[in-house]
Amino acid sequence: MTTATTPLFQWDDAYLIGIDELDYEHRGLIDNLNELHEELLRNVDRDRVDQTLGDIHARLTAHFALEERVMRDGKYAGYATHKREHDEFLDDYVDFLFLFENNPGLGYSVMIETYLKDWVVNHILTSDRKMSQMIRH
Ligand SMILES: [Fe+2]
Ligand SMILES: [Fe+2]
């Protein structure tokens, strides 16, 4: 049975930071988060959800690596602080994955997606945007 669902959040051009390759990846990341949201709502197989959570981790890791290269190439003064945000978030994400393994209930998964969404949106709108403005000017 399929159920019509509302996306976790819609792409908004307010998320654009003006560096094409990073904007493209941010959009893809948001697609992934919506995919997770739909799967949780549809109560799909746990294996499928685990795979999506793994895909999101891989995408985040690759995205942060690219973004950090852009920052180094742009000689961004805030590099160390920004990279620390990425590293700490990845650590938290891995902690969440371990916790989720032992707490497969819907309440916990909703907490994960809310946490992911809030971090990603906030990070794009603040740290990524600030970095882009500094590099491009
Ligand atoms: Fe970032
Ligand atoms: Fe980013």
pLDDT tens sequence for the chain (137 residues): 445 566 777 888 999 999 999 999 999 999 999 998 888 888 788 888 889 999 999 999 999 999 999 999 999 999 999 999 999 999 999 988 888 888 766 666 777 788 888 999 999 999 999 999 999 87
Contact 8, 34 (CB under 8 A): yes
Q: How would you class 18 by CB atoms within 10 Å of its CB: exposed for 0-12, middle for 13-18, buried for 19 or more? A: exposed
Residue 119: strand, helix, or coil: helix
The ligand minimizing its distance to the Cα of 28 is 2
Ligand closest to Cα of 78 equals 1
What is the value of pTM for the model shown?
0.89
Could you give the CA distance from residue 55 to residue 61 in angstroms, rounded to a whole number?
Answer: 10
Ligand 1 centre from 113 Cα, in Å? 18
Domains detected in the chain = 14-136 (1.20.120.50)
How is residue 77 written in tokens?
A: 């003064």
Which ligand number lies closest to the CA of residue 62?
2
Cα(131) to centroid(ligand 1), Å: 8
Cα–ligand 2 centroid distance for 113 (angstroms)? 17
